[in-house]
A and B are shown apart, each in its own frame.
Chain A
C-alpha cells in the first residue's frame, strides 16, 4: 500500500510539474499575444500621423515597445528549446515546448519589462480621441454650441 501511495505521489508531482511548465509558456504566450494585439492596433492607428512626425509621444512609445515585444518572444523561444523527447520534433522545428529551467529567469525578466509597455499601449488605446478645443463664440455659448461640443 505504501509503495502504491509513493507511486501515486511521484505521478502527481510529475503531472503537476508538466502542467505548470505548460502554464508558464502559455501565460507568457498570452502576454505576448496581448502586446502584439495592442502594438498592431497602435501601428495601424498612428501610421499616417507617425510617418509624418515620428517624434510624437505615441510614435516613440510604439517604437520603444517593439524590441521589448520581440525580446519576450526570444526569451520564450529559448525557454521552450529544451531537448525534445526521442521521436518528437524539436521546438525549433515546430514541436512542442520543452521547458529549459535556466531560461525561466530571462523569460520572467522579459515579461516584467513587457508589462508596463502593454499598460502604456492599453492607455493609448483607451484614451479619448483628441478633439479640437472649442472656442466659445463672442456673446456666450448658445444651446446649439453646448450640444455640439457636449459641454
Chain B
C-alpha cells in the first residue's frame, strides 16, 4: 500500500471520531459522520489519474 493521501488520512480520522461518538452514545453524530465518510470514500475511489486521461486521447483516422 502506498503512502496515505490527505483524503485517506481524513477518512481514517473521521472513522475514529465516529467510533468514539458511538461509544459515548452520540449515535446521531456518528451516523452523520459515517455518511460523510461514505461520500469522501466515493470521491476518493473516483480519483483522476494521468494514465486514465491519456487513454481518452484520440487521433484522426482520415
Q: Give me the interface of A with B, judged by CB distance under 8 Å.
A: 15, 18-19, 22-23, 25-26, 28-29, 32-33, 35-36, 39-40, 43, 47, 50-51, 54, 59, 63, 66, 69-70, 73, 76-77, 80, 85, 87-89, 91-97
Alpha-carbon distance A23/B50, docked complex (angstroms) = 16
A77 touches B50 (CB 8 A): yes
Contact digits for B24-62, partner A, Cβ 8 Å, 1 yes 0 no:
000000000000100110011011111111101111111
A80-B3 contact, Cβ under 8 Å, with A33-B56, A36-B56: no
A sample of 23 inter-chain contacts (CB < 8 A) reads A15-B36, A15-B40, A18-B6, A19-B40, A19-B43, A22-B44, A25-B48, A26-B47, A26-B48, A29-B48, A32-B53, A39-B58, A40-B58, A43-B61, A47-B61, A50-B62, A51-B62, A69-B56, A76-B53, A77-B50, A77-B53, A80-B50, A94-B51
Q: Which residues of B contact A96 (CB under 8 A)?
A: 5, 47-49
A69-B58 contact, Cβ under 8 Å, with A22-B44, A26-B46, A80-B48: yes
Q: Which residues of A contact B51 (CB under 8 A)?
A: 94
| Chain A, interface SS category | helix
